[in-house]
């Protein structure tokens, strides 16, 4: 168990570095879309919610999990769609320019 | 949740994580941004679909119902929201993500309790972390939302003994956590931890002023990622850990950019209560010193003449323009002026608006051509050759006190050097101060004309006056 935790910690730290490197230089124009896009990705908690709401019998965990599924899905779907809506406006402009 | 997951699912997670990284990378450049967002969305879909194949997941009907409800609400919200309200939308979505992560941690704790076996130390630690970060993200985001939406006053809200109470809550949280680590089967202590996390989130954002909201929104965005990571540790799922870490890192980078743009350290944003307490007395003193100074005001007709016969005009949009929904009239005015051979540029301060890059989105919505938008560093050297700088609903970002007055709370914040332009026209509702609560010397300068009124009405008048020139 401790081994798994350690491995996960490695994954977490390395992924953080990747995040820093990937996003380091972003023009101010894209700050808002980047933030709402990243926000949508943070809805990945939906996976955790799916896993804990999996059992067929009803109990507190499943109920909490299902609520989490709904909330996280709003985050994911709303986040990606609104980001696309914003980026669409930028695109229109580039064609015009 | 350390059950063996079939290799196929794990490999799919790896693909999804790669898609997230590629997507974020492409979101960093205007040409590929839309595709990047699409890639990330595909990654998410893949992750959700393969998770449904997991053998733990049997409760299909209810889960699909949940996914459908969430998708419906999310889609409607995404299509209905006004671009001016983007900061609130992102704040709200952040909160929901945090809530989901906290619920995962709470649900997992319940499951471990109901198995009747002792809860392991690692599991307890990760669950406590998940509850703390998720809970703070949830209530913190909701308070930020309420402030941005105007449900709560935007000014910093402080009350006596605020810091001691925060410290007490934090100590309480640590003590209770320690207790829970020793006796993990204690449900009431656990619920106490949940409650303290929620209260901490509220207390964390309440004292932060409206002017600092771009920083807070970025920071909460980072927290929502960390909350997902924490949930990933709870259910031991690398997919959550990686995606959460990516978002956490991106949020921190944006927070740093925002802090730098305001020349404020993160700690002073979080604990300083800008514009309240000590700094408000300075602002008040500045205000009385300015009482004997006079302000020149113009009517739209005269302003239109100045604009119409200028060679170069720089428009400085601020949040006032966004609130008045004047971005379309502003673009119309710019078109009119360009028709008369005036060179029009837009100067965008990094913290104009209520979230990073907010102003760019609003102008894009009004079809302002991309190359006309200039960042602060690019436009500042050009102000000296600018005939008229037109400030629309911006205040603190053009305050010369940031450059010259060491006692000003905004001293050191990089500003748009509007005072160096040959003339400045400031469209503003009245003489009130900006979000930082600081008086603005620019308004009292000889070459500055004030044009009082709501941005939308005034700009519309300018458009018709310029037409008649």
Question: B75, B84, B92, B96: best mutation site toward chain A, by most A Cβ within 10 Å?
Answer: B96
Mean per-residue pLDDT for B95-102? Answer: 94
Cβ <8 Å between A32 and B23: no
Mean per-residue pLDDT for B337-344? Answer: 88
Average pLDDT over chain A reads 86
Q: How confident is the model at residue B293 (pLDDT cuts 50, 70, 90)?
A: low
Nearest to A8 among B25, B40, B236 (CB): B236
Whole-angstrom distance, CA of residue B414 vs CA of residue B460: 31
- Residues in chain A closer than 8 A to B10 (CB atoms): none
Distance from CA of B146 to the nearest CA of A (A): 18
Confirm or reject contact between A47 and chain B (CB < 8 A). yes
Whole-angstrom distance, CA of residue B227 vs CA of residue B450: 47
Per-residue pLDDT at B67: 94
Question: B43, B104, B228, B262: best mutation site toward chain A, by most A Cβ within 10 Å?
Answer: B104
Whole-angstrom distance, CA of residue B313 vs CA of residue B272: 37
Mean per-residue pLDDT for B80-104? Answer: 91
Q: List all residues 6 or more positions away from B172 whose beta carbon is below 8 Å from its beta carbon.
A: B196
B317, B359 in Cβ contact below 8 A? Answer: yes
**Residue corresponding to tokens 């402009």:** A93
Nearest to B253 among A20, A67, A71 (CB): A20
The complex's ipTM works out to: 0.91
Burial (CB count within 10 angstroms: exposed 0-12, middle 13-18, buried 19+), residue B192: middle
Whole-angstrom distance, CA of residue B275 vs CA of residue B435: 8
Distance from CA of B206 to the nearest CA of A (A): 22
Whole-angstrom distance, CA of residue B100 vs CA of residue B135: 9
Please tell me which residue in B54, B387, B396, B457 is annotated as part of the active site: B396
In this predicted structure, the answer to whether residue B39 has a pLDDT above a threshold of 90 is yes
Residue B118 DSSP symbol: P
Tell me, yes or no, if B396 is annotated catalytic.
yes
**Does the model's pTM come out above 0.90?**
no
- Residues in chain B closer than 8 A to A83 (CB atoms): 37
**CA end-to-end span of chain B:** 73
Which residues pair with residue B343 across a beta bridge? B312
- Tell me which of B24-33, B115-124, B247-256, B407-416 is least confident: B407-416
Who wins on pLDDT, B150 or A79? A79
Two tokens at B449?
Answer: 């004309």
Per-residue pLDDT at B436: 61
Per-residue pLDDT at B191: 92
- Tell me which of B93-107, B134-148, B404-418 is least confident: B404-418
Mean per-residue pLDDT for B441-455? Answer: 84
Burial A13-47 (b: 16+ CB within 10 A, else e): eebbebbbebbeebebbbbbbbbbbbbbbbbbbbb
Residue B208 DSSP symbol: S
Residue B297 DSSP symbol: B
- Residues in chain B closer than 8 A to A82 (CB atoms): 77-78, 81, 86, 89
B231, B217 in Cβ contact below 8 A? Answer: no
Per-residue pLDDT at A91: 61
Q: How confident is the model at residue A28 (pLDDT cuts 50, 70, 90)?
A: confident
Nearest to B246 among A18, A29, A35 (CB): A18
Most confident of B11-20, B21-30, B110-119: B11-20
Which residues pair with residue B426 across a beta bridge? B391, B450
Q: How confident is the model at residue A95 (pLDDT cuts 50, 70, 90)?
A: very low
Listed in order, strand segments (DSSP E) in B384-464 are 388-392, 423-428, 448-452
Q: How confident is the model at residue B437 (pLDDT cuts 50, 70, 90)?
A: low
Confirm or reject contact between A10 and chain B (CB < 8 A). no
- 3-state SS, residue B375: strand
């Amino acid at each position: 168990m401790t081994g798994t935790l350690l491995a996960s910690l490695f994954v977490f730290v390395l992924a953080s570095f990747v995040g820093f490197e990937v996003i380091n230089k972003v023009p101010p124009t894209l700050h808002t879309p980047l933030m709402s896009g990243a926000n949508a990705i943070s809805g990945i908690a939906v996976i955790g919610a799916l896993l804990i709401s999996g059992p067929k019998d009803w109990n507190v965990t499943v109920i909490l999990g299902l609520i989490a599924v709904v909330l996280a899905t709003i985050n994911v779907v709303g986040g990606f769609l609104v980001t696309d809506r914003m980026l669409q406006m930028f695109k229109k402009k580039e064609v015009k320019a | 949740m350390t059950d063996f997951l079939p290799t196929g699912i794990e490999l799919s997670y790896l693909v999804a994580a790669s898609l997230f990284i590629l997507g974020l990378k492409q979101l960093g450049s205007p040409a590929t941004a839309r595709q990047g967002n699409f890639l990330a969305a595909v990654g998410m879909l893949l992750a959700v679909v393969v998770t449904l194949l997991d053998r733990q997941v049997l409760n299909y009907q209810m889960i699909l119902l949940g996914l459908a409800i969430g998708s419906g609400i999310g889609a409607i919200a995404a299509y209905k929201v006004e671009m001016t309200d983007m900061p609130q939308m992102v704040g709200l979505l952040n909160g929901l993500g945090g809530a989901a992560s906290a619920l995962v941690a709470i649900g997992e704790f319940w499951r471990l309790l109901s198995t009747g076996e002792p809860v392991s130390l690692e599991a307890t630690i990760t669950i406590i972390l998940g509850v703390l970060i998720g809970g703070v993200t949830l209530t913190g985001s909701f308070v930020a939302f309420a402030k941005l939406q105007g449900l709560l006053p935007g000014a910093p809200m402080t009350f006596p003994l605020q810091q001691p109470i925060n410290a007490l809550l934090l100590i309480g949280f640590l003590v209770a956590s320690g207790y829970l680590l020793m006796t993990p089967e204690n449900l009431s202590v656990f619920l106490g931890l949940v409650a303290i996390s929620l209260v901490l989130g509220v207390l964390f954002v309440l004292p932060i002023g409206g002017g600092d909201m771009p920083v807070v929104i970025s920071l909460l965005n980072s927290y929502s990622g960390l909350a997902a990571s924490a949930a990933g540790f709870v259910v031991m799922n690398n997919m959550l850990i990686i995606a959460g870490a990516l978002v956490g890192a991106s949020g921190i980078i944006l927070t740093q950019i925002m802090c730098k743009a305001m020349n404020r350290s993160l700690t002073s944003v979080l604990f300083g209560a800008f514009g309240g307490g000590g700094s408000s007395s300075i602002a008040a003193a500045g205000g009385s010193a300015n009482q004997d100074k006079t302000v020149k005001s113009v009517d739209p007709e005269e302003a239109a003449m100045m604009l119409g016969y200028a060679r170069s005009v720089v428009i400085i949009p601020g949040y006032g323009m966004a609130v008045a929904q004047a971005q379309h009239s502003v673009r119309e005015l710019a078109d009119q002026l360009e028709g008369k051979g005036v060179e029009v540029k837009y100067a965008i301060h990094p913290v104009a608006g209520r979230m990073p890059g907010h102003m760019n989105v609003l102008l894009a919505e009004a079809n302002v051509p991309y190359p006309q938008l200039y960042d602060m560093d690019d436009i500042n050297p050009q102000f000296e050759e600018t005939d008229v700088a037109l400030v629309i609903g911006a205040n603190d970002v053009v305050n010369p006190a940031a450059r010259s007055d060491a006692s000003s709370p905004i001293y050191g914040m990089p500003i748009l050097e509007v005072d160096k332009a040959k003339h400045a026209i400031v469209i503003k509702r009245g003489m009130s101060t900006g979000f930082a609560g600081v008086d603005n010397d620019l308004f009292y300068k000889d070459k500055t004309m004030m044009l009082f009124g709501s941005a939308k009405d005034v700009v519309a008048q300018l458009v018709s006056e310029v037409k008649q020139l």
